Structures are given as C-alpha cells and as structure tokens.
Structure 1
Amino acid sequence: MEKPIVLSAGVVIVRKQGERCRFLLLRVFNYWDFPKGEVEPGENPLDTAIREVREETGITDLAFPWGEIFIETPPYRSGKRLKVARYYLALTSQERVRLGINPELGKAEHDEYRWVDSGRAHRLLGERLRPVLQWAVDASACNAQG
C-alpha cells in the first residue's frame, strides 16, 4: 500500500528595495529552496509556513498583502517518502536573516542564505521550484529585473 503524501508548507518571501524585489533563498549542500517544513498533525499549513520561516530565518514580520494564496509542487520523492510542498507568498521588511539551529540536528538546517532578484533566483533554483518562483513573480508583480 502506498504511504500517504507528506505535506510541507513554506513561504516565498519578497523584500522590496524601492522598486526592486528580492527573494529569500536558503541553501543546504548545493540545493536552493524557500523556507519550508513538514506540516505537523493537526497544524494548519499556513501556521506551519509561518513557524518554519521564524525557525529557519528569524523573520517574524511576514505580511500577506496578496491574501493566503498558495501554489503546490507536483508530488516528488524525498528519501522513501512522497512529498508535496505548498508555498505561500509574503512580504517582509526584515533584511537580516538568522539561520536558526535545528535542535534535532544540533546545527543550522541551511548553509547559506541570499536575497536575490528573480533572474538570479531562477538560475539558482532547481527545475521543480522554478514554476513556484514564476508564480510568485507574477502574483507579486515583481519583474525579472526588479
């Protein structure tokens, strides 16, 4: 019998610099992603996404001017599990990121972070996440240069 699909929830975070937009990417090994984590039993996915952002980045001032819109990835394998990642879209004014320590790992989950424009984000992200980025660019009205 196929195991149930595991849902992760995260946030594509936009920070505006004048007319320019920057997207927050996190790196573990050579893989770039947006902040996200698994939805715990009984937890609302949006609450998970906000919690994961706080734990992984220290960002606490998320605003959702576009509402609670989200996009989900097609199912993908992560180890032996089948997962779907749901991403919400939020705005922050907080530039400083603190890569939080995961108590289970005893170290930060991520090796690096970058605030990048959409063009650079497109080059760093893998094929599975590029549609998520394009959705966020379209929904936030951030163009390729900004």
Structure 2
Amino acid sequence: MKALKRSAGLVVLRRFGDQWHCLVLRAYRNWDLPKGLPEPEEGPLPAAVRETREETGLSMLELRWGEDYRETEPYANGKIARFYLALSPSGDVSLPISAELGRPEHHEFRWVTFAEARKLLPSRFVPILEWAQSTVGTSR
C-alpha cells in the first residue's frame, strides 16, 4: 500500500471591515491555500507556518484559534492536506521567488470572503472553509 503524502498549511484570515477574508493563491488555473510538505523531522504546524511564510512573505501570523486543525479527504493519489487557522493582522502579501523553481510558486493572490473562496477553490476545501468560518464566527 502506498504511503499517504501529507502536506500542511494555513487558512490565513484577515478582517476587512466587518467581514473575514481568507488568502487564496493561484498557480496557473488552480486556486489553493498556502501549504506544502514538512521537512524531515518537522511537525505539521511548524511546516504550515514555514510554507505560508515562504509562499506569501507573511511572517506576522497569530495562531489565535490554537492548534486545532482539519484535514482534506484523500485526493490526487492519496494526498491529504492538514490546515490550521492563522490570523494575519498586518503585512503585505508578496509572491517570493522559490529557490527550487527560480520563479514564484504562485501567479496571483487574493483576499476573498468565505463565499468567494468556495467558488474559487476545489471542492475538497469546502469542509475546511466551513470549519474555518464556523470557528471564527463573528470574532474580532
């Protein structure tokens, strides 16, 4: 049996006015959340924070909602993605050049409402978005 590939990422949240928005990233035609594979001996949460920093340039991330997480159902040859929630109170998103690729990993980013994220992201993310939305609720 093939081992599952587990990636880790963050649902990065920021308030604009009275609405929560989450950060989505586009590579070619595919929208995604910041995530990646843990390094050897690296836990999922540190990997999620590192990957988000590498892919977005955001370093001021607060784990306001703790270390709770949700995982996607297996997809694409058994991959599973684990997501934590993080608040990004400030800072500009950038799309840094990946050392491995020699170009940014993503082509575009957007801060979108949960409803907009549901339209852009693959369906495997819907339970993650629903969990994130119910967790943050109307918190400030």
Give the residue type in structure 1 aligned to 2:14: R
- The Cα of 1:94 is off from its aligned counterpart by 2.2
- Offset from partner CA, 1:16-72 (integer Å, 9 cap, x none): 123211110001111111100001221010000000011000101111111111000
Corresponding position: 1:37 with 2:33:
no
TM-score normalised by structure 1 residue count: 0.90
How many residue pairs match? The answer is 139
Runs of 4+ in 1 over 3 A off after TM superposition: none
Match for residue 110 of structure 2 among 90, 108, 114 = 114
Percent identity over the alignment? 45
Corresponding position: 1:135 with 2:131:
yes
Counterpart mapping for 1:36-55 below 5 A: 36-55=35-54
TM-score normalised by structure 2 residue count: 0.93
Q: Distance in 1 between matches of 2:68 and 2:57?
A: 22
1:92 maps to what in 2?
88
**Structure 2 unaligned runs (5+)?**
none
Task: Give me the CA root mean square deviation.
Answer: 1.4
Give the residue type in structure 2 aligned to 1:108: P
**Structure 1 unaligned runs (5+)?**
none
SS of corresponding position for 1:108: coil
SS of corresponding position for 2:124: coil
